[in-house]
């Protein structure tokens, strides 16, 4: 029991949860409605839910020592697709709309993964290109048009705004997806292989791991979750324009890194990425209440990301030194 407690107390995620609680406490002390009001509690849970889904997919990719910069564009494309399907095909089942969003997202993720895995081009370069391509397609398709809440079925909109007791539906959905992804990475052999690939891709090849297939799967998961978030984006906000999802790629990467997913790959959990998403957006909500202007809000988030990367590097050096010391002792 003490060993389990020790692991919990020393886990990187515990520190992020503590930071999140401190931010909530300070903002609540400045304005009690930050939490202790219907809208305050609802926004605290609801606002990070969509970013959480994208951050989970991003974390899976980063664990393999890659990155997906196209996730924001995929969110925008699938959000507009959602609206067009409801407008152009009246009476279409929302289940089919969700399937279309997941399918388009997975297909776009597959394109990214194939280019990275087979062309052997760095993911940063590939997904930077597809980010602009997907966004360009979205802008050309959308034009000056936009989806309005009145274009969407009432039941579908309620999915994005309603809740069960005091918990929004979107938060419940996000937590269920998070739990499934966390279980997969921790319990399934194919999930653990993603960590091995991220730790040392060359060694993973020599060991016989299906590196190409796992990288493809990681990008497909990222694309599918971004597509899923895009459908829910339409349900949450009702209005969808060509700028939907703009900038989400950097927020997703920031959430994953702040949550302890090492940018160098092989380390981290989707749980940490999810907590990072909550911390990131809670800070964005809290700082204006404290009286900090927009510039410093962005600076604080940037400092958190830099601090997380530096901490990862320090911990990696310490682990390396301990391993060297243990080898010396064994000799």
Q: Give the confidence band of 160 by pLDDT, cuts at 50, 70, 90.
A: confident
pTM of the entire predicted model: 0.90
Q: Per-residue pLDDT tens for 100-140?
A: 999 999 999 999 999 998 888 899 999 999 999 999 999 99
Q: Give the confidence band of 22 by pLDDT, cuts at 50, 70, 90.
A: confident
Average pLDDT, the chain: 86
Q: Per-residue pLDDT tens for 61-78?
A: 999 999 999 999 999 999
Nearest to 46 by CA among 244, 281, 230: 281
Question: What are the sequence ranges of the domains in the chain?
Answer: 48-330
DSSP three-state, residue 168: strand
Of 24-38, 85-99, 312-326, highest mean pLDDT: 85-99
| Separation CA 59–CA 104 (nearest Å) | 20
Cβ-contact 69, 131 below 8 angstroms: yes
- Residues whose CB is less than 8 angstroms from the CB of residue 182 and which lie 6 or more positions away in sequence, other chains included: 269, 270, 271
Q: What is the CATH number of domain 48-330?
A: 1.10.3470
């Amino acid at each position: 029991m003490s060993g389990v407690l020790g692991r919990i107390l020393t886990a990187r995620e515990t520190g992020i949860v503590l930071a999140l609680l401190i931010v909530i406490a300070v903002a609540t002390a400045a304005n009690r409605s930050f939490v202790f009001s219907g809208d305050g509690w609802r926004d605290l849970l609801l606002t990070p839910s969509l970013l959480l889904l994208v951050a989970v997919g991003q974390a899976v990719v980063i664990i393999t020592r890659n990155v997906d910069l196209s996730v924001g564009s995929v969110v925008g494309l699938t959000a507009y697709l959602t609206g067009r399907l409801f407008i152009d095909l009246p009476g279409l089942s929302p289940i089919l709309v969700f399937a279309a969003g997941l399918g388009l997202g997975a297909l776009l993720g597959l394109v990214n993964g194939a280019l990275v895995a087979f062309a052997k081009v760095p993911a940063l370069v590939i997904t930077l290109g597809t980010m602009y391509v997907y966004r360009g397609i979205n802008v050309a398709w959308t034009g000056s048009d936009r989806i309005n809440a009145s274009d969407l079925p009432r039941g579908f909109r309620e999915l994005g705004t309603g809740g069960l007791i005091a918990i929004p539906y979107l938060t419940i959905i996000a937590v269920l997806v998070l739990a499934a992804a966390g279980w997969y990475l921790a319990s399934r052999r194919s999930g653990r292989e993603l960590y091995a690939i991220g730790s040392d891709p060359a060694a993973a090849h020599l060991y016989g791991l299906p590196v190409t297939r796992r990288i493809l799967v990681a990008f497909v998961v990222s694309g599918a979750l971004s597509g899923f978030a895009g459908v829910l984006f339409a349900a949450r906000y009702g209005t969808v324009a060509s700028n939907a999802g703009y900038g989400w790629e950097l927020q997703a990467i920031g959430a994953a890194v702040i949550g302890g997913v090492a940018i160098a790959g092989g380390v981290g959990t989707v749980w940490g990425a999810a907590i990072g998403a909550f911390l990131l957006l809670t800070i964005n909500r809290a700082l204006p209440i404290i009286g900090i202007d927009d510039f410093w809000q962005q600076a604080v988030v940037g400092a958190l990301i830099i601090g997380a990367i530096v901490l990862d590097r320090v911990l990696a050096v310490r682990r390396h030194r301990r391993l060297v010391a243990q080898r010396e002792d064994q000799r």
